[in-house]
Amino acid sequence: MARSRQPLIAGNWKMNGLRADALALARGVAEGVKQAGWTDREVLVCPPATLLMAVAEAVKGSGVLVGGQDCHSNASGAHTGDISAEMLRDAGASHVIVGHSERRTDCGETDATVRAKAEAAWRAGLLPIVCIGETLAEREAGRTLQVLETQIKGSVPAGATAAKLVVAYEPVWAIGTGKTPTVAEVAAVHAHIRKILGGLMPDANVVRLLYGGSVKGSNAGELLAAGDVDGALVGGASLKADEFLAIAKAA
Q: Could you give the CA distance from residue 101 to residue 98 in angstroms, rounded to a whole number? A: 9
Q: Mark the segment that binds ligand 13P (CB under 6 A) among 47-55, 135-143, 169-177, 191-199.
A: 169-177
Select the residue interacting with ligand 13P from 234, 247, 248, 251 (CB under 6 A): 234
Whether 170 is catalytic? yes
Contact flag: residue 151 with ligand 13P (CB under 6 A): no
Least Å distance, CB 250 to ligand 13P, is 14
Contact flag: residue 213 with ligand 13P (CB under 6 A): yes
Contact flag: residue 176 with ligand 13P (CB under 6 A): yes
Decide: residue 11, CB within 10 A, 0-12 exposed, 13-18 middle, 19+ buried.
buried
Three-state DSSP at 124 gives helix
Q: Could you give the CA distance from residue 89 to residue 161 in angstroms, rounded to a whole number? A: 20
- Of 71 and 86, which CB lies nearer to ligand 13P in the complex structure? 71
- State the amino acid at position 166 in one-letter form: V
Select the residue interacting with ligand 13P from 130, 230, 236, 244 (CB under 6 A): 236
Residue in 197, 2, 15, 157 with CA at minimum distance from that of residue 73? 157
Whether 72 is catalytic? no
Residue in 186, 182, 77, 166 with CA at minimum distance from that of residue 126? 166
Contact flag: residue 227 with ligand 13P (CB under 6 A): no
Binding positions for ligand 13P, 112-141, rule CB under 6 A: none
Residue in 79, 113, 108, 94 with CA at minimum distance from that of residue 44? 94
Q: Which residues are catalytic?
A: 100, 170
Q: Which residue ranges make up the site for ligand 13P (CB under 6 A)?
A: 12, 100, 170, 175-176, 212-215, 233-237
